A and B are shown apart, each in its own frame.
Chain A
Amino acid sequence: MAQLLETDLVHSTLNIALAGGGDFAEVFVEDRRNESARLDEGRIEELVAGRERGVGVRVVHDDTTGFAHTADLSQRGLAEAARAAAAAARGGGATARSVALAVNPIAYQNDVVILPESVPRAKKIEMLKVADDAARSEGAAIRSVSASYAEGRRRILVANSDGLLATDERVRTRFYVQAVAKSDTGMQTGYEAPGRTMGFEFYDEFAVDVIARTAARQALTLLEAVPAPSGKVPVVLKRGAGGVLFHEACGHGLEADLVHRDASVFAGKIGRRVAADGVTLIDDGAFAREWGTFAIDDEGQSARSNTLIENGVLTDYMWDLVRARQQGRASSGNGRRETYQVLPMVRMTNTFLVAGETDPDDIIANTEFGVYCVQLGGGQVDTASGDFVFGVTEGYLIENGEITRPIRPAQLIGNGPAALCDIDAIGNDFATWSGMCGKSGQSVPVSSGQPTLRVQNLTIGGTAS
Chain B
Amino acid sequence: MNDEGQVDLLDLCERVVASAEQGEHIEAYAVRTRETDIEVFNANVESLSIAGIDGVGVRVVRDGRQGFAWAGSLAESFVRDAVADARDNAKFAEPDEFNGLATAADVASAPKVELDLWREELLAVDTDTKVEFALTLDATLRAADPRLRAVESASYGDGAVETALASSNGVTASLRRTICSASAVALAGVAEATMSGYGFAVGRHFADLDLDAIVAMAVERTVRLLGAAPISSRRTAVIFDPLVTSSFLGVLSSAFNAESMLKGRCLFQDRVGEQVAASHVQIIDDPTNLKMMGASPHDSEGVACRSNQLVKDGVLQGFLHNTYTARRAGSKTTASAVRGGFKTTTGVGIKALSFEPGNKNPEQIIEMSQEAFYVQSVSGIHSGTNPISGDFSVGATGVLVRGGEFADPVREVTIASTLPRMLTDIVEVGSDITYLPGSTAGLTLLISDMTLSGT
Q: Which residues does A use to contact B, with CB under 8 Å?
A: 37, 40-41, 43-54, 62-72, 84, 88-90, 121-122, 125, 143-144, 146, 180, 182, 186-189, 222, 228, 230-232, 261-263, 265, 341-343, 376-382, 384-391, 393, 408-411, 413-415, 417-418, 459-463, 465
A343 CA to B48 CA, complexed, in Å: 10
A62 CA to B384 CA, complexed, in Å: 43
| Interface-centre pick from A64, A88, A461 (highest chain B CB count, 10 A) | A461
Q: Is the CB of A385 within 8 A of B195?
A: yes
Residues of B within 8 Å of A262, CB to CB, are 149-150, 152, 187
Offer 15 A-B interface pairs, CB within 8 angstroms, sorted by A: A40-B263, A47-B68, A52-B55, A52-B71, A69-B51, A84-B50, A189-B386, A230-B453, A341-B51, A341-B53, A378-B383, A382-B196, A389-B394, A409-B386, A461-B395
Q: Is the CB of A413 within 8 A of B264?
A: no
Q: Which residues does B use to contact A, with CB under 8 Å?
A: 41, 44-55, 66-73, 75, 78, 81-82, 85-86, 88-90, 92-94, 96, 127, 149-150, 152-153, 185, 187, 191-196, 230, 233, 235, 263-265, 267, 269, 343-345, 379-380, 382-384, 386, 388-391, 393-395, 397, 411-418, 451-455
Residues of B within 8 Å of A125, CB to CB, are 92
Q: Is the CB of B391 within 8 A of A49?
A: no
Chain A proximity of B325: nearest CB distance (Å)? 13
Q: Is the CB of B383 within 8 A of A379?
A: yes
> A67 with B48: in contact, given A45-B96, A143-B264, A261-B152 (CB under 8 Å)?
yes
Choice from A44, A232, A342, A410 contacting B93 with Cβ under 8 Å: A44
Q: Is the CB of B264 within 8 A of A180?
A: yes
> A461 with B411: in contact, given A51-B81, A382-B379 (CB under 8 Å)?
no
Q: Which residue of B lies closest to A230 (CB)?
A: B453
Q: Is the CB of B383 within 8 A of A389?
A: yes
Q: Is the CB of B192 within 8 A of A228?
A: no
Chain A proximity of B7: nearest CB distance (Å)? 12
Residues of B within 8 Å of A261, CB to CB, are 41, 150, 152-153
A52 CA to B85 CA, complexed, in Å: 14
A417 CA to B45 CA, complexed, in Å: 32
A69 CA to B455 CA, complexed, in Å: 50
Choice from A37, A44, A143, A414 contacting B412 with Cβ under 8 Å: A414
A379 CA to B315 CA, complexed, in Å: 34
Q: Is the CB of A48 within 8 A of B264?
A: no
Choice from B72, B78, B195 contacting A384 with Cβ under 8 Å: B195
| Interface-centre pick from B82, B85, B269, B389 (highest chain A CB count, 10 A) | B389
> A187 with B72: in contact, given A67-B47, A263-B187, A384-B187 (CB under 8 Å)?
no
A387 CA to B384 CA, complexed, in Å: 15
Residues of B within 8 Å of A418, CB to CB, are 192
Q: Which residue of B lies closest to A269 (CB)?
A: B191
Q: Is the CB of B383 within 8 A of A411?
A: yes
Chain A proximity of B74: nearest CB distance (Å)? 8
Q: Is the CB of A49 within 8 A of B89?
A: yes
Chain A proximity of B360: nearest CB distance (Å)? 28
Q: Is the CB of A462 within 8 A of B380?
A: no
Choice from B48, B88, B185 contacting A89 with Cβ under 8 Å: B48
Residues of A within 8 Å of B390, CB to CB, are 186
Q: Is the CB of A380 within 8 A of B383?
A: yes
Residues of A within 8 Å of B85, CB to CB, are 49
Q: Is the CB of A410 within 8 A of B92?
A: no
> A265 with B191: in contact, given A188-B389, A390-B380 (CB under 8 Å)?
yes
Residues of A within 8 Å of B395, CB to CB, are 380, 387-389, 411, 413, 461
Q: Is the CB of A385 within 8 A of B50?
A: no
A413 CA to B415 CA, complexed, in Å: 11
A413 CA to B397 CA, complexed, in Å: 11
Q: Is the CB of B380 within 8 A of A391?
A: yes
A204 CA to B418 CA, complexed, in Å: 40
Chain B proximity of A168: nearest CB distance (Å)? 20
Q: Which residue of A lies closest to B89 (CB)?
A: A47
Choice from B90, B153, B382 contacting A378 with Cβ under 8 Å: B382
Choice from A69, A143, A413 contacting B414 with Cβ under 8 Å: A413
A341 CA to B49 CA, complexed, in Å: 9
A342 CA to B86 CA, complexed, in Å: 27
Choice from A41, A68, A409 contacting B384 with Cβ under 8 Å: A409
Top 6 nearest A-B pairs by Cβ distance?
A461-B414, A52-B72, A391-B383, A411-B384, A389-B380, A47-B89
Q: Is the CB of B71 within 8 A of A43?
A: no
> A63 with B46: in contact, given A47-B67, A49-B89, A384-B194 (CB under 8 Å)?
yes
Chain A proximity of B135: nearest CB distance (Å)? 12
Choice from B47, B187, B417 contacting A463 with Cβ under 8 Å: B417
Residues of A within 8 Å of B193, CB to CB, are 385
A316 CA to B149 CA, complexed, in Å: 25
Q: Is the CB of A144 within 8 A of B264?
A: yes
Known: A262-B187, A377-B383, A459-B455. 10 other contacts (CB 8 A): A47-B92, A49-B70, A52-B72, A54-B72, A180-B265, A230-B416, A230-B451, A263-B187, A382-B379, A391-B384
Q: Which residue of A lies closest to B86 (CB)?
A: A49
Chain A proximity of B281: nearest CB distance (Å)? 22
Residues of A within 8 Å of B81, CB to CB, are 51
Q: Which residue of B lies closest to A64 (CB)?
A: B45
Q: Is the CB of B47 within 8 A of A384?
A: no
Chain A proximity of B116: nearest CB distance (Å)? 27
Q: Is the CB of A385 within 8 A of B192?
A: yes
| Interface-centre pick from B47, B265, B384, B413 (highest chain A CB count, 10 A) | B384
Q: Which residue of B lies closest to A410 (CB)?
A: B393
A342 CA to B37 CA, complexed, in Å: 10
Chain A proximity of B392: nearest CB distance (Å)? 9
A222 CA to B388 CA, complexed, in Å: 13
A385 CA to B454 CA, complexed, in Å: 16
Q: Is the CB of A46 within 8 A of B379?
A: no
Choice from A37, A187, A385 contacting B194 with Cβ under 8 Å: A385
Q: Which residue of A lies closest to B127 (CB)?
A: A88
> A65 with B412: in contact, given A48-B68, A48-B69 (CB under 8 Å)?
no
Q: Is the CB of A63 within 8 A of B68?
A: no
Q: Is the CB of A53 within 8 A of B386?
A: no
A59 CA to B233 CA, complexed, in Å: 52
Chain A proximity of B16: nearest CB distance (Å)? 15
Chain B proximity of A31: nearest CB distance (Å)? 10
A89 CA to B44 CA, complexed, in Å: 11
Chain B proximity of A461: nearest CB distance (Å)? 3
Q: Is the CB of A230 within 8 A of B233?
A: yes
Q: Which residue of B lies closest to A67 (CB)?
A: B49
> A68 with B50: in contact, given A50-B72, A378-B383, A384-B196 (CB under 8 Å)?
yes
Residues of A within 8 Å of B388, CB to CB, are 180, 187-189
> A66 with B263: in contact, given A48-B70, A48-B89, A411-B383 (CB under 8 Å)?
no
A263 CA to B411 CA, complexed, in Å: 17
Chain A proximity of B2: nearest CB distance (Å)? 16
Q: Which residue of A lies closest to B131 (CB)?
A: A90
A84 CA to B418 CA, complexed, in Å: 51
A409 CA to B385 CA, complexed, in Å: 8
